[in-house]
Amino acid sequence: MNIERLPSDQKLVLCRKYYMAGFALLPFMWTINFIWFFRDAFLAPSFSEQKRIRCYVIISGIGSLVWLVGLVTWIIVFQQHRSEWGATADYMSFMIPRGIP
């Protein structure tokens, strides 16, 4: 999809859809929204919908960053404490490592 060909009102509609989709626990939609519309929000010549697109892009970037930090934090904590948590961690694991015999 080439968003450069879309008129500015359609860009705003698409940007808002991706922004709202991020609230459905789909943080990658926020990341895509941030990447796709960054140029229109900050680097393009001024147009009437730019202010709202900029708002959606900023919030999408912050939201995807928060999700990334939370996910990385959880992965680090889980990997460091999985063996200490015993059966509870085993229930959360998809694959249980065998260890050294």
38-87 confidence digits (pLDDT tens): 999 999 999 999 999 999 999 999 999 999 999 999 999 998 998 898 88
Closest Cα partner for 49 from 7, 4, 6, 12? 12
Q: What is the pTM (predicted TM-score) of this model?
A: 0.82
pLDDT 10s digits, 11-45 = 999 999 999 999 998 999 999 999 999 999 999 99
For residues 16 and 84, give the distance between their C-alpha atoms in angstroms, rounded to a whole number: 44
